[in-house]
Amino acid sequence: MGRAMLFLVSGSFILFAMIQLGVFDRQATMNEVNVEYVLAAQSRNVANSGLERAINRISTDFSWRTGLDAPVSYNFGSGTASVTVVDGTFTGVSLPFGFIEIRSSGNSNGVTSVAVARIRVENGLPQVHGTMGIFTDNLSFNVSGSSFLITGHDTNPDGTAGLLESLPGIAVNSQAAFDEIYNSLNNTQRGRIQGEETPDDLFDTIGGLLGANKPSLTIDPSMDGDALEDFVQLAISNADVIYDDHVASGEGSLGTVEAPQVVIVNGTLEVRNATGAGIIIIKEGGSLDARGNFDKFEGLIIVQGNADLTRGNINIMGAMLFGGSNPSVEIDIDFRGNVNIQYSSHVLNNLSTRLPQTAGMKQELVSIFD
**Does residue 30 belong to any structural domain of this protein?**
yes
Clarify whether residues 324 and 212 are in a common domain.
Answer: yes
Cα-to-chain-centroid distance, residue 180: 31
Beta bridge partners of 287: 268, 306
Task: Annotate 201-231 with b (16+ C-beta within 10 A) or e (fewer).
Answer: eebeeeeeeeeeebbbbbbeeebebeebbeb
Q: Are 57 and 119 in contact (CB under 8 A)?
A: no
**Does residue 363 belong to any structural domain of this protein?**
no
Q: What is the pLDDT along the chain (370 residues), one digit of tens a residue?
A: 454 444 444 444 444 545 454 555 555 454 555 667 788 889 999 999 999 999 988 877 777 899 999 999 999 988 999 999 998 878 888 887 778 999 999 999 899 999 999 998 877 899 999 999 999 989 999 988 788 999 999 999 999 999 889 999 999 999 999 999 999 999 899 999 999 998 887 776 655 455 567 899 999 999 999 999 999 999 999 999 999 999 999 999 999 999 999 999 999 999 999 999 999 999 998 999 987 789 899 999 999 988 887 777 899 999 999 998 888 788 999 988 789 999 999 999 899 889 988 998 777 888 777 7
Least Cα distance to 87 among 105, 52, 62 occurs for: 62
For residue 284, give its domain range: 132-358
Q: d(Cα 328, Cα 60) in Å, to the nearest integer?
A: 41
Rama region for 8: left / alpha / beta (φ>0; ψ in -120 to 50; rest): alpha
CA atoms within 13 A on the CB side of 313: 7
Report the amino acid identity of residue 123: N
Indicate the pTM of the whole model: 0.74
**Does residue 364 belong to any structural domain of this protein?**
no
What's the number of domains the chain is made of?
A: 2
187: helix, strand or coil: helix
Least Cα distance to 55 among 112, 8, 10, 120 occurs for: 120
Last residue of a domain, one of 58, 91, 122: 122
DSSP state of 202: G
Q: d(Cα 245, Cα 83) in Å, to the nearest integer?
A: 53
Clarify whether residues 291 and 341 are in a common domain.
Answer: yes
Clarify whether residues 9 and 40 are in a common domain.
Answer: yes
Clarify whether residues 347 and 234 are in a common domain.
Answer: yes
Report the amino acid identity of residue 27: Q
